Amino acid sequence: MRLAIALALAMALVLSSLWLVEHGMRSAESETASMRVGYTFSPRQADYLGLPWQQTLEATLTLDTSLVRLGAYWDDIERHPGSYDFSALDWQMDLAAASGRSVVLTVGMKAPRWPEYFLPSWLQARAAGRTSGAISDDPEVRDRVLRFITAVVERYRDHPALHYWQVENEPLDRAGPHHWFIRPEFLEAEIATVRACDAHQHPVVLNMFVHLYPFASVLPWSRGDDDRADTLLQLGDILGLDVYPSVSLRLLGLDLYFDFTGWNWTSAVSRQAERAQRLGKEAWIMEAQAEPWEPSNVVATNPGPSRSLGPGEAESIFEKLRGSGFDTILLWGVEHWYMRKEVLNDASWWDAGVQLLQSIQPSEHLSQTTASALANGG
């Protein structure tokens, strides 16, 4: 996905100089009590950062939040065809329940974090060798992922932590080493499978990457956001929007940074929220950038401040989203916060996150759920 938007970002950097920056933002309409704030947690990301993933999840659950998005990683769960090992995900779901958190569970072939697609090794090589573009065109992949989705839904549909399904992650966006995407027709079949297996009919979230740079709505390589949002709104119950105002890439040996935090980037996000509102549906921020996006890195791991984003800029991104009227926001980057504190002895990200969350949500929820867990020996 990063390489796919390289030309768009380069063009945007030139065009942005022609525009005035930062239009007035709408004032927040919701009080702090109505805000729902959460985050995405990925054991894969914790492993990448050299962290014990169980310890990392336990630490993040001390943050003052109400939602956590977890992923059913296909390659971890179905290491052998038709044999499912849910032990790691069971542990995460049970811990979330004990902590009083509502879970958004991502299911399918695509899940949060790189490399985006998590096909089991016994399927990955065959699929990569004969498929390009739409991975959902591969008959074996289609058959196998529907079986996997059925197994996951049947496993967790009655779990007390489960409140929402997310079917695939940015399914219509090209991503990963092979630049694959999932066709809407197959996404519809996946959603139908979830609904057929879930008697409780938990709401289905579908998310997309939002292009935020100047003229994104008219440039040919990024103007499809509106169409993708319309498709996702037709198929799902809640539209999830992934927001990264400060990104970078390496091009021809050069590190290029594109910081649009000073631009009126919220207009692109609000436009999609208004589309959802017209249909009587919700729009959430599924990924609010709260970690650096450095060139050629999954995430920054070097000591010292990152050029692309710091804690202050991350807080500004959150406040602008909140000021635009979004009342459900999931932060992206808590594993990075914890890594800097535990590995690099730099608590600046973690402390800033704690302070931000405490200023938004009352602490009674956390204290009550923690007291309950302690009382039960948790």
- What average pLDDT score do residues 308-318 get? 97
Distance, CA of 150 to chain centre: 22
- Tally Cβ neighbours within 10 Å of residue 2: 15
Residue 154: helix, strand or coil by DSSP?
A: helix
pLDDT given for residue 14 in this prediction: 40
pTM of this structure: 0.88
* Phi and psi, residue 212, nearest 5°: -110, -5
Dump pLDDT digits (tens) for 264-280. Answer: 999 999 999 999 999 99
Task: Give the chain's domains with CATH numbers.
Answer: 3-15+34-366 (3.20.20.80)
Q: How far apart are CA 348 and CA 366, in angstroms?
A: 22
Let me know if 341 is exposed, middle or buried by CB neighbors in 10 A (0-12, 13-18, 19+).
middle
The more confident residue out of 176 and 132 is 176
DSSP label at residue 190: H
Dump pLDDT digits (tens) for 201-221. Answer: 999 999 999 999 887 777 877
pLDDT given for residue 223 in this prediction: 80
Find tokens 């050029």 and name the residue.
307
Q: How far apart are CA 249 and CA 96, in angstroms?
A: 35
86-105 residues labelled b (16+ CB within 10 A) or e (exposed): beebeebbebbbbbbbbbbb
- What average pLDDT score do residues 134-156 get? 97
